Amino acid sequence: MPSWREALDDLVAQCDNPDGDVWVLDSDEHGIVGQMVVQDQGPPWGWTDEERAEAALYLSGAITDPAMRERRPGTVMALWAVDRAARLGVPWVRRHCHFAGVARYNESQGFTLVREEQRTHARLFMMTRRAERLDLAQVLREGTLAQPGRG
């Protein structure tokens, strides 16, 4: 994708992140349709000391193929992380975003807005969701990569 190519150095650098792993969403039909960094620790800003003391997976750097938008690959990746956290015994999944529209999209995935944080040049929406086991096969069947336009 052209937009990914423009940020290629940054995306490749994320693979050498000692505090997290890069996960890729791959479709048999479409190839790679998304990428997300999953970290054990979030940024020091935006969360209280009590929140940072709780175990959580932190989602950052998610990017998806815009041509796949109707199939909601971002939702697939987020719900996979919610299920993974539960399987690992981690009680929370946290993330932040820069736009109110993305925050609303994250809320459609079950995330709750905890607070808004003003950084130097950006307004951040700090979000969280309790981890839980999910039937990811059902997620795929009911409105993501399996059936465009639903979900």
User: Is 2-141 a CATH 3.40.630.30 domain?
Assistant: yes
> Do the Cβ atoms of 93 and 110 come closer than 8 Å?
no
Using alpha carbons, list the distances in angstroms from residue 60 to 120, 126, 141, 149.
19, 12, 26, 25
Which pTM was predicted? Answer: 0.78
Q: In the prediction, which pLDDT does 127 show?
A: 96
DSSP percent split of the chain into helix, strand, coil, nearest 5:
35, 30, 35
Q: Is 95 exposed, middle or buried (0-12, 13-18, 19+ CB in 10 A)?
A: buried
Q: What is the pLDDT along the chain (151 residues), one digit of tens a residue?
A: 455 556 656 655 555 555 657 666 677 887 777 888 899 888 888 899 999 999 999 998 788 778 887 888 888 889 999 999 999 999 999 999 989 999 999 999 999 999 999 988 889 999 999 999 998 888 777 755 443 333 3
For the chain, which residues make up each domain, given as ranges? 2-141
